[in-house]
């Protein structure tokens, strides 16, 4: 199988300097973007490993290593030649193993409407299918990094072929072992509510009330599905946003605290210190 060259992808600014994918300003060039997992993690491993969601679909193509991925509150192991597709707005995190390498394709906000509506974790075992996706990503990279006549249209065609590749692999993919359907639906609904309302001051009890279950039951289901209680998922999502706003914006810390539902800057700073070992101001100064 061809080996993907990431050199052209690394000519852009480091991830921490150009903003998280879900906060990029309107673009004048191609809507899609290609990056490597290693490059994205240069801005801090938390950018990959903390629970968060994007405002555009993305595709992870794991080319080396193994680890765990949590999507919609359900955790699975991943390995080489795994393709993980995430629609916009789905909470997820990718825990990086010691040798994890791979590519990430961000489809842009004005993406192909034929992309899958639901998250997909595909373990691609056929060498032909592995080579096909690598070749499509290489072709897309060439059109994006070496503009010439018709590059925009060619890139759109490559994106369409990637959509077709996903559709075909989903059709032949074996069913993974997953938590019971009712439990999976509950944790999916919980993470969707968290993604919608994490900026509020709602607690796990508030979410449990909306879901018509007890906080204990909600936490037990979350722990069974991804190894973490409901409170950890909620805290991680808020912590990711706090870190992102501290590094990717000049927003005052007091405003960040208010935006994330904390009753005071002091309470926010104390909470941030307890979770990271650093105050918000020192974290901002460190740059990662």
Determine the Cα–Cα distance for residues 241 and 76; give it in Å rounded to an integer.
24
Per-residue pLDDT at 284: 96
Report how far Cα 126 is from the mean position of its chain's Cα atoms. 26
Per-residue pLDDT at 27: 40
Phi, psi of 182 (to 5 degrees): -65, -40
- Residues whose CB falls within 8 Å of the CB of residue 247, separated by 6 or more in sequence, listed in order: 16, 43, 44, 283, 284, 287, 288
Going residue by residue through the chain (288 aa), what tens digit of pLDDT does each one get? Answer: 444 444 444 333 333 333 444 543 344 445 789 999 999 988 889 999 999 999 999 999 999 999 999 999 999 999 999 999 999 999 999 999 889 999 999 999 887 788 999 999 999 999 999 999 999 999 999 998 888 899 999 999 999 999 999 999 999 998 766 677 889 999 999 999 999 999 999 999 999 999 999 999 999 999 999 999 999 999 999 999 999 999 999 999 999 999 999 999 999 999 999 999 999 999 999 987
Per-residue pLDDT at 12: 34
- Local structure of residue 263 (DSSP, 8 states): S
Entry pTM: 0.85
Per-residue pLDDT at 7: 44
Determine the Cα–Cα distance for residues 215 and 231; give it in Å rounded to an integer.
10
Cα–Cα distances (Å) from 79 to 57, 166, 219, 259, in that order, read 21, 18, 28, 37
pLDDT tens digits for range 129-167: 999 999 999 999 999 888 889 999 999 999 999 999 999
Per-residue pLDDT at 15: 32
Token pair, residue 92, equals 């997820």
């Amino acid at each position: 199988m061809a080996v993907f060259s990431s050199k052209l992808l690394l000519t852009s600014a480091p991830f921490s300097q150009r903003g998280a994918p879900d906060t990029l300003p309107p673009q004048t060039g191609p809507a899609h973007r290609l990056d490597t997992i290693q490059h994205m993690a240069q801005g801090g491993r938390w950018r990959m490993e903390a629970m968060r969601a994007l405002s555009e679909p993305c595709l992870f193509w794991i080319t080396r290593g193994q680890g765990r991925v949590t999507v919609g509150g359900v955790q699975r192991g991943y390995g080489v030649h795994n393709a993980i597709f995430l629609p916009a707005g789905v909470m997820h995190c990718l825990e990086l193993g010691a040798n994890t390498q791979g590519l990430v394709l961000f489809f842009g906000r004005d993406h192909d409407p034929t992309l899958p509506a639901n998250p997909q974790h595909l373990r691609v075992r056929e060498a032909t299918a592995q080579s096909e996706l690598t070749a499509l990503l290489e072709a897309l990279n060439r059109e994006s990094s070496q503009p010439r006549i018709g590059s925009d249209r060619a890139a759109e065609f490559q994106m369409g072929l990637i959509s077709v590749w996903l559709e075909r692999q989903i059709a032949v993919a074996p069913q993974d072992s997953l938590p019971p359907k009712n439990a999976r639906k509950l944790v999916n609904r919980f993470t969707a509510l968290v993604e919608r309302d994490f900026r509020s001051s709602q607690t796990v009890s508030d979410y449990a009330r909306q879901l018509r279950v007890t906080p204990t039951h909600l936490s037990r289901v979350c722990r069974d599905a991804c190894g973490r209680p409901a409170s950890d998922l909620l805290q991680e999502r808020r912590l990711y946003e706090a870190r992102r706003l501290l590094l990717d914006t000049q927003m005052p810390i007091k405003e960040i605290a208010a935006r994330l539902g904390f009753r005071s800057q002091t309470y926010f700073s104390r909470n941030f210190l307890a979770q990271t070992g650093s105050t918000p101001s020192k974290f901002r100064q460190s740059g990662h």
